[in-house]
Amino acid sequence: MTPENLTGPICVHAEAPVWSPSWGGIRWVDGEAADLVTLRDDGIHRLHLDDDYAAFFRPRAAGGFVALGARSLHLSDTADGPARIAATFDLGQARFNDGTVDTHGRLLAGSMALDDAGAVGRVLRIGADLGTTEVLSGVEVSNGIGFTSDGARAYYVDTATGRVDVFDVIDGDLHDRRGFVSIPEDLGSPDGLTVAADGSVWVALWGGSAVHGYAADGSQIARIELPVPQVSACTFGGDDLGTLFITTSAQGLDADHGTEAGSLFAVRPGVSGQAVVPFAG
């Protein structure tokens, strides 16, 4: 499988891709620019958040979108903004980094430590009323979170552990955290992930120039190689949800790195994803 470069290197730190017909296709963030970037038939569109960082976003059930910045939650009533700050969170020596919406329409917002502060990140569950519950603590770099189509299992990455973990989901809560797969250091570090409709898990490898696919039993079923070192996240999309969109990053690379880092890639791995769950708020 050879991924196609859809955009060229238009971002510094492309992350958190999401497919939704509500905004015309595939959208992702350019983190430090605090931009939401959308690829449509007529080209690239950017929407800037009034924030220091853009972490991730999801469509809203009522229309528009929710976006997490460094420490703030932004709401928009339309797909293309503008967005307003609706809540701000005390994250201490951390900022939001990645997250998702669970099967009940609640945000799961993960954070990461800043300035080598250690395991001070958390995962917060944010309801429609914007009230919060702490789901996980002691996190260093919270990244991918995804659920199986039946809602029975959730997969999670704290990149600093070098693992993808799995939880049982009971009445919407996460239970019995355990290792799903460990990534050898020479293959990179697990970053963003997505779960296909068949239960397979697709994980971006930061520093590993690849996305790995794993069956539900943890066995590796695919390796998709990218021509850039820092592969940040992936999601399924397209009309049949059979295209895997992959974000890549030039964050921290030398100015003369000479690669396509910062591009959005796409490939057809032979499985299909799930429709995105909107935020209930």
Query: Can you read off the two tokens belonging to residue 200?
Result: 């397979």
Sequence-ordered list of residues with C-beta below 8 angstroms from that of 142, at least 6 positions apart, any chain: 97, 98, 99, 110, 111, 112, 121, 122, 123, 136, 157, 158
> Using alpha carbons only, what angle is made at residue 31 by residues 30 and 33, rounded to the nearest 5 degrees?
70
Laid out side by side, the sheet with 264-267 consists of 4-5, 264-267, 243-248, 231-237
Both structure tokens of 262? 């910062």
pTM: 0.98
What's the pLDDT at 1? 82
What does the pLDDT look like over 6-45, one tens digit per residue? 999 999 999 999 999 999 999 999 999 999 999 999 999 9
Q: Is 65 exposed, middle or buried (0-12, 13-18, 19+ CB in 10 A)?
A: buried
pLDDT of residue 229: 97
Averaged confidence pLDDT in the chain: 97
Q: How far apart are CA 256 and CA 251, in angstroms?
A: 13
